[in-house]
Amino acid sequence: MKTTLASALLCGALLASSAGHAENSSAIYVLAGLDGKILTNQDANNYFNLSAGQLGPQGLAGGVLHIGYQWPHLLSLEASANFGPGRANDVTYESSFGPTRHVVTQWATTTFSITPGLTWITPRSVSMLGLRLGLANLSGHVDDNAFGFTGSYDQEAQAFDVGLLLRSSQIVVGHLSLGVELGYDYTIFNNITNKNGKGVYNPAHSPERNVSGLGHNGDNTTLDFSGGHIALVLGIWSQSPQPEETPTPAPTPAP
């Protein structure tokens, strides 16, 4: 009788411990939010033929969208679109006789990428460390007024984008999450095509060159959109990524 009772208690303990065992579920998720990025602006100093540091680092805002698949254990894969950052510069050149040139630039990027990641899940959060591989697209516009002669043209370029991404999302309620992501992207445009020239820039000449004393006759332009970034993202999941409790079978009564 004692042996039977001990066996029943042991079975009950094992079943109780298995009740605490949790299994993760696969899920499709969509994350969207605002992204902030810091750029050094050294490329802009080079472009405008300014002394180093004259245009200092600046923080720029953009938007981010992720659509991903979370496997039950350790892995995720997501496709992303980053809208921005965009930046505008307005530089006036002076001489002893007054203003001689006024150049206004507008540069914006849109990036599409794939990010495979390693993930870890707790009862209240989902975290990911991923490698971002993408293609960045630059669209730009330049207005140039030199010695009273005006002109403008559009710009376009593409560059490979590589980066690291670390994100932690807290499960707010049910299928909703709120997350913070940190990362660094390497994005450099080395060959910028000019088009749609107007005024003294009709036709527009390519590739784009930095501003010099004679116009856009300096070195070939390189625009650097590399930098660290931070984003706040709101997510919705096809099913909660929280671990699901394994149902506990009813204990078998002792004879």
Q: Which domains does the chain have, with CATH numbers?
A: 26-76+89-240 (2.40.160.20)
Q: How confident is the model at residue 23 (pLDDT cuts 50, 70, 90)?
A: low
Joined tokens for residue 183: 């990362």
pLDDT of residue 246: 54
Joined tokens for residue 219: 């070195």
pLDDT of residue 252: 65
pLDDT of residue 12: 41
Is 103 in contact with 48 (CB distance < 8 Å)? yes
The pTM assigned to this predicted structure is: 0.82
202-241 as b/e, with b when 16 or more CB fall inside 10 Å?
eebebebbbbeeebbebeebbbbbbbebebebebebeebb
Is residue 241 pLDDT above 70, yes or no? Answer: no
Is 67 in contact with 81 (CB distance < 8 Å)? no
How far, in Å, CA of 179 to CA of 230, rounded? 11
How far, in Å, CA of 136 to CA of 13, rounded? 57
Average pLDDT over residues 230-248: 79
Q: Which residue in 235, 24, 53, 51 sits closest to 122, CA to CA?
A: 24
